[in-house]
């Protein structure tokens, strides 16, 4: 119990945790709202599946660059930019629909960009953990992370199902857009926390600036490590 109390009094970690929780709820709203919207427009479950495929595929490629960026810039800064950009991309969808300008090519292009950007916060949220909690509290912090994901996984779709009837499918995206901006504010505040606290940790090893060389080395390492395949 002492470990949990320690985490609860860690303002930097709890600020990050709260931002992640709010953003995860917003993601549930967009997932539910887009699925409902596409199904209502096309009456085709296949189109709904295509929508999620378009969202997932770009992350396979952008993930190659995520680690490189997160190693070279402050992780909370990278995630802040990511969340601001995704907030803008999400808000474009209901805005264009309200002005009768939303077509499926535009929708799918927007969704592809959202998918490509999502990996930066997914990877960054794990990479930043050592800056938020000491090594002895990793397991407890991971437990809180699992709890956050379970809360949003269980309650997010349930709440989205109610709101989609009350507000309409694309209006849920306004809420998700707001959740991205709230998380961005949390990350900005977190940046001040991290800069004001001296961690006493050694500086990170300097990396090569040649991204292509590092990507190639990563691919070679993966291919020669059967466990990763």
Query: For the chain, how many structural domains are there in total?
Result: 1
CATH code, 89:
1.20.1250.20
**pLDDT of residue 172 exceeding 70:** yes
Residue 164 belongs to what domain range? 2-196+207-223
Residue 74 within a domain: yes
Residue 104 within a domain: yes
Cα–Cα distance measured from residue 90 to residue 85, given in angstroms and rounded to the nearest whole number: 9
Per-residue pLDDT averaged across 34-53, rounded? 94
Residue 40 within a domain: yes
Residue 229 within a domain: no
Cβ partners under 8 Å of residue 19, min gap 6 = 182, 183, 185, 186, 187, 190
Per-residue pLDDT averaged across 214-228, rounded? 59
In which region does residue 30 sit, left (phi positive, over 0), alpha (psi from -120 to 50) or beta (all else)? alpha
**pLDDT of residue 57 exceeding 80:** yes
Residue 22 within a domain: yes
Cα–Cα distance measured from residue 110 to residue 86, given in angstroms and rounded to the nearest whole number: 10
Query: Can you give the pLDDT at residue 159?
Result: 94
Nearest Cα residue to 144 out of 4, 1, 43, 2: 4
List the beta strands (DSSP E) in the chain. Answer: none
Model pLDDT for residues 78-123, shown as the tens digit of each residue: 999 999 999 999 999 999 999 999 999 999 999 999 999 999 999 9
Residue 191 within a domain: yes
* 3-state SS class at 149: helix
């Amino acid at each position: 119990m002492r470990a949990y109390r320690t985490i609860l009094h860690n303002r930097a970690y709890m600020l990050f945790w709260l931002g992640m929780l709010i953003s995860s709820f917003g993601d549930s709203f967009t997932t539910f709202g887009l699925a409902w919207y596409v199904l209502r427009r096309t009456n085709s479950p296949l189109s709904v599946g295509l929508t999620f495929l378009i969202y997932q595929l770009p992350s396979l490629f952008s993930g190659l660059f995520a680690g490189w960026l997160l190693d070279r810039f402050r992780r909370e800064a990278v995630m802040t930019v990511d969340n601001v950009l995704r907030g803008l991309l999400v808000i474009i969808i209901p805005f264009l629909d309200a002005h009768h300008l939303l077509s499926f090519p535009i929708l799918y292009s927007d969704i592809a960009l959202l998918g490509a950007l999502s990996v930066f916060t997914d990877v960054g949220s794990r990479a930043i953990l050592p800056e938020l909690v000491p090594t002895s509290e990793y397991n407890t912090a991971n437990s809180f992370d699992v709890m956050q994901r379970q809360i949003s996984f269980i309650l997010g779709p349930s709440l989205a199902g109610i709101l989609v009837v009350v507000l309409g499918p694309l209006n849920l995206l306004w809420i998700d857009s707001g959740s991205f901006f709230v998380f961005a504010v949390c990350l900005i505040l977190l940046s001040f926390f991290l800069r004001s606290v001296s961690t006493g940790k050694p500086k990170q090893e300097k990396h090569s600036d040649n991204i292509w060389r590092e990507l190639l080395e990563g691919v070679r390492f993966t291919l020669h490590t059967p466990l990763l395949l």
